[in-house]
Amino acid sequence: MNFLAVLDYDHLDNGMFLTAFARSLAQKKESGIIIHSDSEYTDRLIQTGMMREDARLRAIKDLNHRLIALFADQGVSTIGVNGHQKSLIQLKGDQIRINQDQVRRFPSQPMLLISGLAEELSGNSPKALSLPDMALSFQKSFDLENIILFSTDESSSFIKGDFPQDIIPAEKDQSFLEKHVPESFRTFNYKVQLNTPDTF
């Protein structure tokens, strides 16, 4: 696996972004890991009467299927898996374990889309992981150079020369964070590569 891309809460509900991301993915010659959690879809499920935790689990699983279909429309071959399947990601207390052998068993060519649902060793149902914790665990497990995030500023794609840029979110000022960095990563104290779908 050659890169690690993060699809965060805000971007997962943005059809224009996802289509642009899928087009960029179709140009990639190397395989990579794409990770995601839930989106505003969770809140829409809650409004139908579902409990929050159940809604979040359902949203993450549904999004995994939807993203595979969206990528396929752009000619991107993707294997989608939820992290708790095949014990791919295990959670013991607050310790995340990635089953590297299992990940490496997947074919090397297509993209690998992994949801942030972990097998919780002390419980019966999967547990949704924090996306920053999951990203860091995958980066360390596979010695990947960058965690790739995408600017939340929709006009970023039209600004030439600003992206990609390497940043440590926790060291940036508040106005930059609010403009560009996904909310869940704003206190992240590790280097990430901030990108746009067009410069990815």
**CA 158, CA 117: separation in Å to the nearest integer?**
34
Q: What percent of the chain has pLDDT over 90?
A: 74
171-180: which pairs have CB atoms within 8 A and are 24 or more residues apart?
Answer: 179/151, 179/152, 179/153, 180/151, 180/152, 180/153, 180/156
**CA 34, CA 63: separation in Å to the nearest integer?**
13
Does residue 164 have a cis peptide bond before it, meaning omega lies within 30 degrees of 0?
yes
Q: What is the pTM (predicted TM-score) of this model? A: 0.93
Q: How confident is the model at residue 157 (pLDDT cuts 50, 70, 90)?
A: low
Residue indicated by tokens 């993203």: 67
Q: How confident is the model at residue 159 (pLDDT cuts 50, 70, 90)?
A: low
Residue 161 region, left (φ>0) first, then alpha (ψ -120 to 50), else beta?
Answer: left
Measured at the CA of 149, the angle between CA 80 and CA 13, to 5 degrees, comes to 60
Query: Would you state the pLDDT for residue 72?
Result: 95
Averaged pLDDT for residues 119-123: 85
Measured at the CA of 35, the angle between CA 32 and CA 37, to 5 degrees, comes to 170
User: Tell me: the pLDDT tens digits for 20-77?
Assistant: 999 999 999 889 999 999 998 989 999 999 998 899 999 999 999 999 999 999 999 9
Contact assessment for residue 110 and residue 100, using Cβ atoms and an 8 Å cutoff: no
- Helix (H) or strand (E) run with residue 131 in it: helix 131-142
Averaged pLDDT for residues 94-111: 90
**CA 32, CA 79: separation in Å to the nearest integer?**
11
Phi–psi pair at 176, nearest 5 degrees: -65, -45
Query: Would you state the pLDDT for residue 96?
Result: 95
159: DSSP letter: S
User: Tell me: the pLDDT tens digits for 123-149?
Assistant: 778 999 999 999 999 999 999 999 999
pLDDT surpassing 90 at residue 109: no
Q: How confident is the model at residue 181 (pLDDT cuts 50, 70, 90)?
A: very high
Torsion of CA 48, 67, 94, 139, to 10 degrees: -160
